[in-house]
Amino acid sequence: PIYHQAKFINSAPKLKDAPPDQGMEIAFAGRSNAGKSSAINTLVQQNALARVSKTPGRTQLLNFFEIDAKRKLVDLPGYGYAKVPEAIKKDWRQMMESYLHDRQALCGIVQVMDIRHPLTDFDWQMVEWCEHRKLPLHILLTKSDKLKFGAAKTTLLQVQRDLNQADIVVTLQLFSALNKVGIDDVHQVLDEWFGFRKMVVA
C-alpha cells in the first residue's frame, strides 16, 4: 500500500492550527502508553514518524501526516495519564471533543488499546464520541505478543462481546508492533475508509 509515503505535516496545539478541513482523515486514538505511536510507525513502515514517547501524556498535540493530496492520518493526543494536571485534562477533553464533533474530513477512528488493559473508561468515552458522529471505529488490541495466542483470542472475543452494546460499526483485531502482527488487516480497513477500491479482474 501507499502508507509508507506518509509525511509529517504539522503538530497542532489547537484545532485552529490544523491543516484545512479537506479531503479525508483517519485518526488514531489511545490511552498514553497503549502503543499508538508504535502502531502508526509500523503501519507506515517508518521508525520515527510518530514519536515513541517515554514521557507519556505531556504533549497535547494533534499530529497530521499526509498520505496523498486527499488523505491524512492524524495522531490524537494520548489520554488517561494519571499525572497530568486537571487543567490539561480539561484542555485535552475540549480539543478532542471539538475535533471529533466538528472535523468534516474525519472518516474513521482507529483506537489502540493495550491488550492487557482493554476498554478503560477513556476508551468507552471514545466509543461514545464515535457514536455521536456515527463514525466507524476499528480497535487494535496491541502488544498481543505479551499474551499467549489462546489468551489473546479470549480477550478479543470478550472485548467484541462488550462492544455489542455500541451503537456503531466496531471492528477489532489483534496487533503487535513488535512481532508485526495484523498490519495487512489494518491497511485493509484504512483502504476501505479512504475509498481505495481493490482492482477487480473480470
Q: Binding residues for ligand GDP, per CB under 6 A?
A: 30, 32-38, 52-53, 56, 78, 142-143, 145-146, 176-178
**By C-beta, is 25 or 41 nearer to ligand GDP?**
41
User: Taking Cα atoms as reference points, which of 163, 157, 158 lies closest to residue 127?
Assistant: 163
Question: Which three three-digit cell numbers place residue 186?
Answer: 489494518
Shortest distance (Å) from residue 197 CB to ligand GDP: 30
Shortest distance (Å) from residue 35 CB to ligand GDP: 3
Shortest distance (Å) from residue 124 CB to ligand GDP: 18
User: Phi and psi (nearest 5°) for 71?
Assistant: -130, 135
Which whole-number Å values give the CA distances from 9 to 62, 92, 95, in the listed order? 11, 21, 19
Residues in the chain, total = 202
Shortest distance (Å) from residue 84 CB to ligand GDP: 13
Tracing cell 468515552 back to the chain, one arrives at 125
Question: Which three three-digit cell numbers place residue 102?
Answer: 466538528
Helix 86-102 and helix 121-133, axial crossing angle in degrees, nearest 10: 30
- Whole-angstrom Cα distance, residue 153 to residue 150? 5
**By C-beta, is 7 or 180 nearer to ligand GDP?**
180
**By C-beta, is 83 or 101 nearer to ligand GDP?**
83
Shortest distance (Å) from residue 39 CB to ligand GDP: 7
**By C-beta, is 183 or 196 nearer to ligand GDP?**
183
**By C-beta, is 58 or 133 nearer to ligand GDP?**
58
**By C-beta, is 97 or 145 nearer to ligand GDP?**
145
Residue 149 burial class via C-beta count within 10 angstroms: exposed 0-12, middle 13-18, buried 19 and up: exposed
Question: Which three three-digit cell numbers place residue 86?
Answer: 486537571
Shortest distance (Å) from residue 146 CB to ligand GDP: 5
